[in-house]
Chains A and B, each alone.
Chain A
């Protein structure tokens, strides 16, 4: 029998294949489930971080704006500003000026991110500055260009933020609100320059939870380009070294143009990233919280390896165990096959002698019983055969005797037959002669009758005449 035709091979390989298939299926299902869970966790974490970072910026901006509003609403400062504004000559040495200057100065000193606080008139000329006479009071501040375009909004009590200095060395935002006089009309503007380096940027250089590659970027759209507002965690590629712009950042563009979501992309280093992006309407900025895909899904790679190793381990453990178990089941069958062969060859002394209590044990016991029954039966048959042979011999003898007797009788009979034959022939001859005589007699009789008839006729004719 070929090995491939054997039950051992077929059964064992079938069970092996089944176990491999089940292990593979379970591994794939488990991997997919875990992969999904990891992906969801990564997305949720990035989303949560992006929401948090956005919230931080929004709250920070809101707080700074509220600070400025509170400052602009402070009665003593308003009074000082009003007095200063209405003076024809610039009041750099007056008490009002000193009071306002000190007020602004102490406010500025409270927060490390305030670069300067200045009060201007509606034309944009500086009246009071936390920096004293530097820049010179009474002159339009070169940094206040952006305020001019919002002067109508400011005059009506609005608050504005200008962002003309994001690409400057000292990146800062200018917050501005109007200051009301006693009648409630806006007659001056108070402007605070907030440096981003000391307060806002540190919030974004905290990479907690973002691993070795993750970072948070603040971005702004400028024409077709995207400006990086804060420092990037990784050095930029050669082409971008020192540059503020990156035109290919599609997620940055999406975020800075009013979209929020999560997606995969390629960052400024050309690395594949997964990023959650948010939009800050007040500043028209985008926030991107990103991490390299490789790192974000490193766990998935690890999981893949782990599941592969675990599967191989399970198979390595299972296959010998299965082999042993299969052997335990198959061996009795194979042994039975061999013993059946021996029985078929006429060896009825074969016995399995099983102690098993299962179906195979029962089969083996039945086999033994069957072989025993077969052996007994064979014995009986042999005995009967011998008897038959004896009877046969006796019969044959009798037949031979009878045959001899018959043969003698036959010879005698043949002789008698010959004699009988001779007699028969003699009789036949006699008979033929007798018959011949009889025939002649009959013919003679007929002739005689005919003659009688003719005679009679002649008599009648003669009578008639």
Chain B
């Protein structure tokens, strides 16, 4: 059994800026250190000295056209996630990750409502389909509500944070350095914080989906 060890970490901090606004919002823009392009589906998590709210949610990771949708899901501890199958074919969802190991063999569209699981250990859970090897998705189980993923413009935002000092951790599925230092920020009452972080990305871990003349087997 392969250990699904996510290589994560971040490289360096670029800049820290603050401006006066009404609510305490932290916005982190994640940038590819090599290209300068924004990185979607990166996750930021803030941890501070004060107690942080943990509000479990119900989430869905669907399977559409032989892909997991969405590819990255961020939930706080104790959340429940279902894995419906919206395709007309069978899928076989599994995870080897230490944060959550499970195996949901061979189910179809009409079976999908019953397959779900509670995620009560913080960490990254990598899920795959044992029939379609290119299908890959990540569930980021955060210690608290203070975690978010970046959008298409590379920006992840957290709102209504309690004032105080926080360390910011960044995770991405292709992140190079798993032991990168944390960035510390100070959230002050009535002040928004904007942060820009650069990370180095490693090779794409998804297996190629496109057919080839040497791989003409159905998958």
Determine if chain A interacts with chain B.
Answer: no
Binding site for B on A (CB under 8 A): none
